[in-house]
Amino acid sequence: EYGACVRASLGDTLVHPVEFAQAVDFAGQYGCGAWRGSSMLARTRAGDYAGACQAYLAYRFMTSAQSLQGYSAYQWDAVGRATRWRFDCSAPGNKVCRGVWTRQQARHAACMDVQQ
């Protein structure tokens, strides 16, 4: 399912099998909609393969519709009230979402390993 989503979104764009595997893994974690709207896809389609690898590192946040301890507001309504919060999973020593960041680092590393 996720492989078909990634393949369809790439069109005729050629990618290394490792890049494809990382994209499928990302789509499996975040969904096909997130993959189709991602900077990784946009950069890959533009031929910026190293930039696509770098873009994995931007996906390091967990978000919430309510204020939680350690989360910072990042969206506000028209009168200035916070409506969305996020937690930076790349924060050293965090125990909230360490896996989110380690998976993104692994995707980035695998992707960069095949760049020439």
Taking only the tens place, the pLDDT of each residue in 1-37 is: 899 999 999 999 999 999 999 999 999 999 999 999 9
Measured in whole angstroms, the distance separating CA 92 from the mean position of its chain's CA atoms is 19
Q: How far apart are the first and last CA of the chain?
A: 30
Q: How many separate domains does the chain show?
A: 1
Range of the domain at 50: 2-113
Taking only the tens place, the pLDDT of each residue in 45-80 is: 999 999 999 999 999 999 999 999 999 999 999 999
Q: Between the CA of residue 36 and those of 1, 30, 61, 86, what are the distances in Å?
A: 14, 11, 18, 22
Burial of 27 (0-12, 13-18, 19+ CB in 10 A): buried
Give the per-residue pLDDT at 112. 96
Q: Between the CA of residue 72 and those of 61, 108, 112, what are the distances in Å?
A: 10, 25, 31
Question: pTM value?
Answer: 0.86
**Cβ atoms of residues 3 and 88 within 8 Å:** no
Give the per-residue pLDDT at 1. 87
Query: Strand, helix or coil at 72?
Result: strand
Which candidate, 39, 84, 93, places its Cα nearest to that of 64?
84
Give the per-residue pLDDT at 102. 94
* 116 pLDDT above the threshold of 80: no
Give the per-residue pLDDT at 90. 95
Please, which pLDDT band fits residue 38 given cuts at 50, 70 and 90?
very high
